[in-house]
Amino acid sequence: MLDKIISVAKKFITISSIKENPRKSPDVLIIAKKELSGFTIEDFEKEGVPSLLIYKGKARPKRFKFILNAHLDVVPGKKEQFKPVVKDGKLYGRGAYDMKAAAAVEILVFKELAKKLNYPIALQLVTDEEIGGFNGTKYQLDKGVRSEFAIAGESTDLGIKNQAKGVVWAKIKTKGKTAHGAYPWMGKNAIWKMINALNHLHKSFPEAKKEIWKTTLNLSKIETSNSTFNKVPDDCTVGIDVRYIPDDAKTIVSKIKKALPKEAEVELLLKEPAQFTDKNNIYIKLLQKATKKVTNKLAPIIVKHGASDIRHFNRVGCDGIEFGPIGFGLHTDNEWVDIKSLEQYYLILKSFLSTI
């Protein structure tokens, strides 16, 4: 089985399915389809982004018990990263760790078990996770696809990631009154107003100096329409990138607004939900057991700062986690996945799905 996993993973890695190459997305899905004959394959497409939902039987059930979710898009890489290499027990290549090898495992586990299991299970293959998953996973959920529990094979080193921070992007704006730079008392300087506003903000959102499981705020950019020195600027805009923990989900926007003085206006650009599934969830417990059976170690429950497509499941009330093989170099020039852990990943998923 391991040879088969490596062979499918290699085929995926060879295709540069990056967002700059939208024509490659169908190609990578064709490879998956070839492995999945005999199943119902639903094709989805939104804004040119294709994705698949695969299951047994003719009709899609209202709710699957499990969805195995995998993204087959990758971030850009060096040319040689699209030529997979096996060396010293590792498979190197763009997407080896995030997450084409895990996708190969999910496909092969699904293929082996889906027809034998006495509950409905689906395989969901998408091609836009790296750019937000809005036209892949989220679109399928918008179209009514549901599951009791979802597993995304992201790079977690065989840990179970049950929560991730949500994202708020906003602009903070201050307005002033323009004047000649030699007569500043004639105007109102929007940048000084902004400095005052940011000092207030800093008190409520102190700068994180080390890794911390708390809501953090990054000042991302500062702009004014003023382009010269001898003028008092009458506008200033600052962009903020807030990463909030699930506990702050309900209060985060009002917390930002409350932290600022009245003269600063907030324009909300994006609010993406945090990811959260209770660590006492029955399927998390069973997955931990299955991991112990295969590796002799209890899978740790982990948190990460960046979110995945699982947040789209959480948004519609479905539980889910990220769980994938061991590797290194996510989004870097030196990305690899540990081959032994791919076999373990396969055995864990198989054991988990078979004991339900």
Q: Which two tokens stand for residue 187?
A: 């105007």
DSSP class of residue 130? G
Q: Which of residues 284-323 bind Zn ion (CB under 5 A)?
A: none
Nearer to Zn ion, 94 or 146 (CB): 94
Binding mask 152-191 for Zn ion (x = CB under 5 A): --x-------------------------------------
128 binds Zn ion (CB under 5 A): no
Nearer to Zn ion, 248 or 335 (CB): 335
Nearer to Zn ion, 98 or 248 (CB): 98
Nearer to Zn ion, 98 or 319 (CB): 98
| CB crowding 325-339: b at 16 or more within 10 Å, else e | bbbbbeeeeebbbbb
Q: Which of residues 51-110 bind Zn ion (CB under 5 A)?
A: 98-99
| Cβ at position 15, least distance to Zn ion in Å | 16
Closest-by-Cβ residue to Zn ion is 98
Considering CB under 5 A, how many residues would be counted as binding Zn ion?
3
Nearer to Zn ion, 141 or 260 (CB): 141
| Cβ at position 103, least distance to Zn ion in Å | 10
Nearer to Zn ion, 151 or 198 (CB): 151
DSSP string across 240-255 = EEEEE-GGGTTTHHHH
Q: What order of strands is seen across the sheet that includes strand 235-244?
A: 216-223, 235-244, 166-175, 264-272
Q: Which of residues 19-38 bind Zn ion (CB under 5 A)?
A: none
User: Would you give the end-to-end CA distance of the chain in angstroms?
Assistant: 23
| Cβ at position 107, least distance to Zn ion in Å | 16
Q: Which stretch binds Zn ion (CB under 5 A): 117-125, 150-158, 249-257, 295-303?
A: 150-158
The Cα–Cα gap between 346 and 6 comes to: 12
Q: In terms of DSSP bridges, do strands 121-126 and 64-71 run parallel, antiparallel, or are they unpaired? A: parallel
Strands (E), the chain: 40-46, 49-55, 64-71, 85-87, 90-92, 121-126, 147-152, 160-164, 166-175, 216-223, 235-244, 264-272, 275-276, 301-304, 319-322, 327-328, 336-338
Nearer to Zn ion, 98 or 338 (CB): 98
The Cα–Cα gap between 5 and 105 comes to: 6
| Residue 213, CA distances (Å) to 71, 204, 244, 306 in order | 26, 16, 9, 12
| Cβ at position 131, least distance to Zn ion in Å | 11
Three-state DSSP class for residue 29: helix
Binding site for Zn ion (CB under 5 A): 98-99, 154
